[in-house]
A and B are shown apart, each in its own frame.
Chain A
Amino acid sequence: SQTIHQWPATLVQPVGSPLSLECTVEGTSNPNLYWYRQAAGRGLQLLFYSVGIGQISSEVPQNLSASRPQDRQFILSSKKLLLSDSGFYLCAWRGLLNNNEQFFGPGTRLTVL
Chain B
Amino acid sequence: DQQVKQNSPSLSVQEGRISILNCDYTNSMFDYFLWYKKYPAEGPTFLISISSIKDKNEDGRFTVFLNKSAKHLSLHIVPSQPGDSAVYFCAAQRNTGNQFYFGTGTSLTVIP
A, B co-complexed:
no
